[in-house]
């Protein structure tokens, strides 16, 4: 989940809303809270992409592949939307206008706050899907709140960036947790109404032609990926990751023709603790080899084809996590 570096440009006039935000940052930092910077950096860590990269594959490989896929894809789409908005709005960070407020390191544009947005998606959904306790969902929301405040304290974001990030994250989380499942359940139960004929025809077609149904799903994933890529100013990382991760899962969950049996019957919840640990080791080894290996052999950002190869690198990494690795686990009897 990478940021594009800020291009060197002449300092432009600051927007009045951002000027107000900069004054609020100075005021908060001027409170001189004991250990404030260290505490803010600790909360910021919980909103960092590195932590998600460690947690999401483990959930998918070792806990529940269906819930893991749902959570991971929602986070990836959220981050893709965040990158697209940043590259569209191209708002400079507060320290661009006042270097004295810079208490941490961060590249890229400012609006909306990625840490705030993605944490508002990840932690409440994690608690809802896997822990299923209202108190923990509230804890996830509170953690996202603290992460957003930490970005203001460190001078990385204006308050408006954080507010927009929280709002977008809440909307995306609600869509991923409530709206899409409700629509799917409504479609599965549709026996009458204007769409019943279309839905029934699609079901029959899917049962008789599983490869054709797979093609439709891959096309849908490609459209989402294309939409993310179109507004991301050449940062194809999330569009590649979304397509690769979705494609791997679509192939993993494909059913044998005329049956309800999966071609690759992977179940993350099955297996001993030792087997699950081995899955994680093999899975992360593959992720590291693909990510670092392809980065080493593919053209760098000086190449005219960098965007394409970046898409391929992230796409293949996502495909490994959701498709190739689980198939390998089955072959290795893990």
> Catalytic residues, which ones?
115, 157
Residue positions counted in the chain: 334
Please list the residues that pair with 262 across neighbouring strands: 255
The answer to whether 140 touches 124, Cβ cutoff 8 Å, is: yes
> Tokens 């059913």 appear where?
255
Determine the angle formed by the axes of helices 210-230 and 237-252, rounding to 10 degrees. 170
155: left (phi over 0), alpha (psi -120 to 50) or beta: left
> 127: which 2 tokens?
């608690």
Burial 180-199 (b: 16+ CB within 10 A, else e): eeeeeeeeeebeeeeeeeeb
Place of tokens 């190869």: 309
Q: Cα–Cα distances in Å, from 295 out to 8, 114, 168, 218, 291?
A: 26, 24, 31, 25, 6
Q: Comparing C-alpha atoms, which of 108, 152, 116 is closest to residue 18?
A: 152
Which stretches within 90-155 are classed as H helix? 114-126, 134-153
Distance CA 37, CA 39 (A): 5
Half-sphere exposure for 85 (CA within 13 Å, toward CB): 16
> What does the block give as tokens for 318?
């996502």
Longest dimension (CA), the chain: 68
Q: What is the distance between the alpha carbons of residues 161 and 145, in angstroms, rounded to a whole number?
A: 13
Residue 251, helix vs strand vs coil: helix
Q: Report the distance separating Cα 168 and Cα 92, nearest Å.
A: 20
Are the C-beta atoms of residues 330 and 284 closer than 8 Å to each other?
A: no
């Amino acid at each position: 989940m990478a940021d594009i570096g800020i291009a060197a440009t002449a300092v432009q006039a600051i927007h009045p809303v951002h000027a107000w935000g900069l004054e609020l940052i100075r005021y908060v930092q001027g409170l001189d809270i004991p250990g404030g910077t260290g505490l803010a950096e600790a909360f910021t860590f919980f909103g960092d992409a590195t932590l998600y990269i460690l947690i999401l594959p483990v959930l998918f490989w070792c806990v529940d592949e269906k819930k893991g896929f749902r959570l991971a894809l929602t986070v990836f789409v959220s981050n893709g939307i965040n990158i697209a908005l940043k590259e569209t709005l191209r708002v400079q960070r507060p320290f661009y206008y006042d270097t004295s407020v810079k208490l941490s390191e961060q590249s890229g544009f400012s609006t909306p706050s990625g840490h705030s947005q993605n944490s508002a998606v990840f932690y409440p959904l994690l608690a809802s899907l896997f822990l299923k306790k209202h108190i923990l969902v509230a804890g996830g929301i509170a953690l996202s709140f603290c992460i957003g405040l930490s970005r203001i304290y460190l001078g990385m974001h204006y308050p408006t960036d954080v507010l927009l990030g929280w709002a977008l994250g809440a909307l995306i989380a609600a869509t991923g947790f409530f709206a899409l499942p409700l629509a799917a359940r409504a479609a599965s139960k549709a026996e009458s109404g204007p769409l019943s004929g279309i839905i029934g025809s699609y079901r029959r077609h899917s049962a008789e032609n599983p490869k054709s149904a797979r093609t439709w799903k891959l096309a849908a994933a490609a459209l989402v990926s294309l939409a993310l890529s179109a507004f991301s100013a050449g940062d194809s990382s999330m569009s590649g990751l979304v397509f690769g991760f979705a494609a791997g899962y679509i192939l993993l969950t494909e059913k044998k023709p005329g049956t309800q049996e999966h071609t690759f019957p992977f179940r993350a919840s099955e297996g001993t603790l030792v087997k699950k640990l081995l899955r994680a080791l093999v899975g992360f080894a593959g992720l590291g080899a693909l990510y670092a290996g392809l980065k080493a052999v593919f053209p760098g950002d000086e190449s005219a084809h960098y965007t394409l190869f970046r898409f391929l690198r992230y796409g293949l990494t996502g495909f490994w996590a959701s498709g190739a690795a689980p198939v390998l686990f089955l072959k290795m009897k893990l």
